[in-house]
Amino acid sequence: MNIVCTNCFTTNRIPKDKDFNKGKCGKCLQSVYSPKPAELTSKTFYPFIERNELPVIVDFWASWCGPCQSMAPVFNKIAQSSPSILFAKVNTEQVQQISAEANIRSLPTIVFFKQGKEVDRISGGLNEMQMKQWIVQCLHKTTN
């Protein structure tokens, strides 16, 4: 399995019989997996969503966006309890090019990627139950 280190964004191959949650990066020697959402930039966005074999959920947000701020703790909490999914955040004020390429029109927008391909997206602030339901729906789409 390929997994991108959330610290240095180097792609690491983890043997299928090994637990990727405990894998160490061959470059920076840190854990390749982090339960905290990775902060993506224009340089790290595409490698992170395309090279990971695990699904990646990206929260596109902005500091001035009230619903973004109120949803952030929910996003972080779900990330902590979802070890088979990677979570990431894109600050649309700082990473405008990626936000434009991703066709982000309202905030917050959460996009579910599987090996670089968009599976689904949802816009607007979500509570914990709504976000979990949406993630389950996305996972079903990737297994069918």
Beta-strand (E) ranges in 8-141? 11-13, 38-39, 56-61, 86-91, 109-114, 117-123
Give the CA distances from residue 70 to residues 16, 63, 65, 81, 90, in Å, rounded to whole numbers and listed in that order: 37, 11, 9, 19, 16
Percent of the chain at pLDDT above 90? 91
pLDDT score recorded for residue 144: 67
In this structure, CATH architecture of domain 1-34? Roll (2.30)
Mean of pLDDT over the chain? 95
Domain ranges of the chain: 1-34, 35-143
Residue with tokens 């689904």: 120
**pLDDT (average), residues 66-78:** 97
What percent helix, strand, coil does the chain show, rounded to 5? 35, 25, 45
Token output for 109: 């927008």
Q: Which two tokens stand for residue 122?
A: 């949802």
Distance (Å) of CA 138 to CA 5, 7, 15, 48: 23, 26, 26, 19
Active site residues: 65, 68
At 1, list the tokens: 């399995």
CA distance 115 to 93: 25
For position 2, what pLDDT does the model report? 94
Whether pTM > 0.85 for this model: the answer is yes
pLDDT digits (tens, 9 = 90+) for 100-125: 999 999 999 999 999 999 999 999 99
CATH number of 35-143: 3.40.30.10
